[in-house]
Chains A and B, each alone.
Chain A
Amino acid sequence: MSCEQHYRTLIDKYIDGEATAEERQELNEHLETCDACFEYMLEVRKVVAFVQSASHVQAPEGFTENVMKNLPKRKQTNRFKV
């Protein structure tokens, strides 16, 4: 594993909230001196923020009524089977 790969893996763990205290410490020290990794971390955070910001889709009006109109008659025959 290359050095760069090592820190990218650490950044992934950090973003996922899985980095240990030692790993966070190691990463912080590295980020102080490495612009490329610092940039990478900002970009990953930006992606997550972008995706989260777009996450408020609502079902169209009348959705529930449409589902209820199309409800089939439910078969009751297998009710007592596991």
Chain B
Amino acid sequence: MDSIDKRLVREVRAGDEQAFAELVELYKDKVYQVAYRMVGNVHEAQDVAQEAFLRAYTNIDTYDIQRKFSTWLFRIATNVAIDRLRKRKPDFHLEDPVQGADGLTIESQLAADEEPVDDQVIQMETRDWIQQEIQALPPKYRMAVLLKYMEDLSLKEISDILDLPVSTVKTRIHRGREALRKRMRHV
């Protein structure tokens, strides 16, 4: 996988746009998922994911080919997503506490489920609910939890992407997981 990435990067550097299209195809779902989970809506997620790829393309010469391409790409994507959250709320800081998370009730979700049409609908609603719960996490915990459990990355990779020590990554994952546990425990 990694060697395909590197071959494609070399071709992009040599001026082959089609090679870049192949890289986008390979990583679009992963990058889009990070964007969607961070910004929480499809419209902005598309913008963020697209911006991440455009930045990667513009800066392809700065990528260190000795390192993993996906780590570099995720790093760009997480930065674009965080920039977007900052712009939405000018005084936004990653360290901000959670707010407004209590408005969401499991009861209201269950009430909507009273007459399930079919399994697929239930599954969709469960996913929406999980997405809402993830959205309610402070961004720094949300990012760590999503890279770990949704993108299935190692602590070392997450540490490289977020430019944080492994111990900090671990703490953020645990705190995010604990916040989710408290909210999801009665389901």
* A residues at B contact (CB < 8 Å): 12, 16, 40, 43-44, 46-48, 50-55, 57-60, 63-64, 66-68, 70-72, 74-76, 78-79, 81
Contact = CB atoms under 8 A, between A and B. Distances in A.
A59 B77 CA distance: 14
A53 to B, nearest CB: 7
Contacts, number: 101
Contacts of B130: 50-51, 53-54
Closest 4 CB pairs of A and B: A55-B150, A59-B32, A59-B28, A54-B130
A51 B150 contact: yes
A71 B19 CA distance: 13
A67 B53 contact: yes
B57 interface: yes
Given A51-B134, A51-B145, A60-B46, A70 B28 contact: no
Interface of B: 13, 15, 17, 20-21, 24-25, 28-29, 31-33, 36-37, 42, 46, 49-50, 53-54, 57-58, 60-61, 126-127, 130-131, 134, 145-146, 149-152, 170, 174, 177, 180-181, 184-185, 187
Nearest to B128: A54
Contact of B33 (A43, A57, A68): A57
Contacts of B37: 57
Contacts of A46: 181, 184-185, 187
Contacts of B58: 72, 74-75
Nearest to B13: A79
B176 to A, nearest CB: 9
B109 to A, nearest CB: 13
Given A57-B33, A59-B49, A71 B149 contact: no
A39 to B, nearest CB: 8
B150 A67 contact: no
21 contacts: A43-B181, A43-B184, A44-B177, A46-B187, A48-B149, A50-B180, A50-B184, A51-B149, A52-B150, A55-B149, A55-B152, A58-B29, A59-B31, A63-B49, A64-B24, A64-B28, A67-B24, A67-B53, A67-B54, A74-B57, A79-B61
